[in-house]
Amino acid sequence: MNKQRRVVITGKGAVTPFGIGVPVFAEALQKGQSGIRLLQQLDTTRLPTKGGGEVAVPLSPVAGLAPRAPRFVQFAALAFQEAWRESGLAGETFDKSRLGVLLGTSRGVVRELELACELLRRKGAARLQAEHPGLLQLLFPVWGSGALSHSIAQLAGAAGHVGTISAACASGTIAIGEAARLISEGVCDVMIAGGAEAPFTPTSFAGVCSSKAMSERWDDPAAACRPFDARRDGYVMGEGAGVLILESYDHARARGASPLAEIIGYAQTDDASHITVPTGEGLRTAIRLALQEARLAPEELDYINAHGTSTKLNDKWETWALHQALGNAAYRIPVSSTKSMTGHLLGAAGAVETIACLLAMEHSFLPPTINYSEADPDCDLDYVPNDARSQNVSLALTQSLGFGGHNAVLLLQGK
């Protein structure tokens, strides 16, 4: 990132398996609670995976949002509303051509596509068009993931750079990093950035079950996700959204806003190897590049929010990458996976985990890795096991790894 202008965060909003809003998320992190439960949206009778990080509360209507907006867009809209309020921009007059939106998702439109295909199968195209003359408008939200950022741009009146990032599980982190770059380079003054996901659809969920990558131990749903533990047997899927308001430091200062944190480093790399087998080398490079951009030594970090999926390969190679990038400092820096509590929110994971870092700074605590009881020789760092820990956090690193070899790292400095 060409650091021509400083980039700060002035607002945050979240929808997580704990409910709608950042406060319920903050409370769950501090208490080490699990938001993973048996699924209600899907019939999992014939499936080996029975649960996930499901948003079980009703979703409130969002004024200005299409009534048939996909679930993942509704999540993003609710998170945006919260972040926009906190930023104080709702009452501000500024150039909306300098306001942009960059959000990440990996598979949010699958449910709507399935519903549309089912309608076409049952009724046929001609009958469907006759019964629904407004079909084109009805199906607009399912055209593609671009509906995500466009919908939020409509709500905010954003007429600047608007786009959607789809880089698997690194989507949300990359969206925030690239949004920061657009501000730093002077393209926009304000960016709405983050990610949203609603993956619990019959087709996609059954498909992922067949990959054998998800946990199949559901005698105790709250303990299904065990990052870095020797007993881990796969990840647990989750849904939700995280949205941040980013501004240039000068723009925020001019209107008297109080930044929550500053983005001081960002890097994105790719493993450039087998699509499903991580190596750790791309992540190692990304961590080093982000530290280099921030002009930080590894020893200065207070906390690392790991990708920590609870799969055998990810946790092993992520630990390896941290050792390689940080050297002996890796043993000193606390590392935790909040996926142990939320499940893996896929394209929204990085955005929600960035908010977890902001909460760690705000409330002076380290979020725990819950369900940790048996050490793995390949995973030998301080994973903040089971209980939150009181500690001041000024410099935090969050990292995301995406299916296909995507790696993204953000460095945050507290106010």
Residues that are catalytic: 169, 307, 344
Q: Position of tokens 């079909």? A: 135
User: Taking CA 264 as the corner, what is the angle to CA 405 and CA 393, rounded to the nearest 5 degrees?
Assistant: 95
Q: Environment class of residue 275 by beta-carbon count within 10 Å: exposed (0-12), middle (13-18) or buried (19+)? A: exposed
Give the separation between CA 136 and CA 192, rounded to whole angstroms: 28
Q: Which residue has the tokens 């909306």?
A: 96
Query: Which amino acid, residue 28?
Result: A
| CB distance 228 to 369 below 8 Å | yes
Distance linking the first and last C-alpha atoms of the chain: 21
DSSP H or E stretch at residue 336: strand 335-336
- Please give the backbone phi and psi of residue 137, each rounded to the nearest 5 degrees, phi first: -70, -35
CA 4 centroid distance within chain: 27
Give yes or no for a contact between 194 and 400, defined as CB atoms under 8 angstroms apart: no
Spatial CB neighbours of 125, under 8 Å, sequence gap ≥ 6 = none
The Cα–Cα gap between 145 and 168 comes to: 12
The 3-state DSSP class for residue 171 equals: helix
Q: Angle at Cα 389 formed by Cα 388 and Cα 390, nearest 5°?
A: 130
Picking from 392, 359, 306, the residue whose alpha carbon sits closest to that of residue 27 is 359
With 0-12 CB in 10 A as exposed, 13-18 as middle and 19+ as buried, what is 218?
Answer: middle
* DSSP H or E stretch at residue 254: helix 249-254
Instruction: Give just the sign of the alpha carbon dihedral 308, 20, 366, 222.
Output: negative
Question: Cα–Cα distance between 174 and 268 in angstroms, integer?
Answer: 7
Q: How far apart, in whole angstroms, are the C-alpha atoms of residue 169 and residue 188?
A: 26
Structure token pair of residue 30: 């501090």
Partnered with residue 335 across adjacent β-strands are 304
